[in-house]
Amino acid sequence: MGRVYTERPARLDGAVVWALTSPPVAEEPVPVLPDGCMDLLWCDGRLLVAGPDTFAYLPEGGPSRYAGIRFAPGDAPALLGVPASALRDRRVELGALWGEARARRLAERVSAAPDPAAALEELAVRRAADAPAPDPLIRAVAGRLAAGRPVAETADAVGLGARRLHRRSLDAFGYGPKTLARILRLQRALSLVRAGVPYADAALRAGCADQAHLARETRALAGTTLSAYASAWAKRETPQPSGSSTTA
Extents of the domains making up the chain: 4-130, 136-230
CA 38 – CA 74 distance, rounded (Å)? 8
CA 153 – CA 180 distance, rounded (Å)? 15
Higher pLDDT residue, 27 or 114? 114
| pLDDT at 64 (0 to 100) | 77
CB 56 within 8 A of CB 228: no
| pLDDT at 118 (0 to 100) | 97
| pLDDT at 4 (0 to 100) | 84
Share of the chain above pLDDT 70, in %: 89
Of 236, 242, 193, residue with least CA distance to 33: 242
Higher pLDDT residue, 149 or 24? 149
Q: What b/e readout covers 56-83, taking b as 16+ CB neighbours within 10 angstroms?
A: ebebeeebeebbbbbbbbbbbbbbbebe
CA 233 – CA 240 distance, rounded (Å)? 9
Correct CATH for 136-230 of 3.40.50.450, 1.10.10.60, 2.40.37.20, 4.10.93.10: 1.10.10.60
In sequence order, what are the beta bridge partners of 92? 49
- Tens-digit pLDDT profile for residues 154-209: 999 999 999 999 999 999 999 999 999 999 999 999 999 999 999 999 999 999 99
| Average pLDDT estimate for 73-92 | 96
Q: What angle do CA 215, 221, 227 make, to 5 degrees?
A: 40
| Average pLDDT estimate for 32-44 | 94
Average per-residue pLDDT for the chain: 90
Write the DSSP string, 192-203: HHHTT--HHHHH
| pLDDT at 26 (0 to 100) | 54
- Tens-digit pLDDT profile for residues 63-75: 578 999 999 999 9
CA 248 – CA 232 distance, rounded (Å)? 20
Contacts of 28 (CB under 8 A, 6+ apart): none
CA 49 – CA 218 distance, rounded (Å)? 25
| pLDDT at 31 (0 to 100) | 77
pLDDT at 7 exceeding the cut of 70: yes
In sequence order, what are the beta bridge partners of 70? 16, 39
- Tens-digit pLDDT profile for residues 40-62: 999 989 999 999 999 998 776 65
CA 178 – CA 175 distance, rounded (Å)? 8
CA 87 – CA 172 distance, rounded (Å)? 11
| pLDDT at 5 (0 to 100) | 86
| pLDDT at 21 (0 to 100) | 85
- Tens-digit pLDDT profile for residues 227-247: 999 888 877 644 444 444 444
Of 223, 192, 54, 183, residue with least CA distance to 203: 192
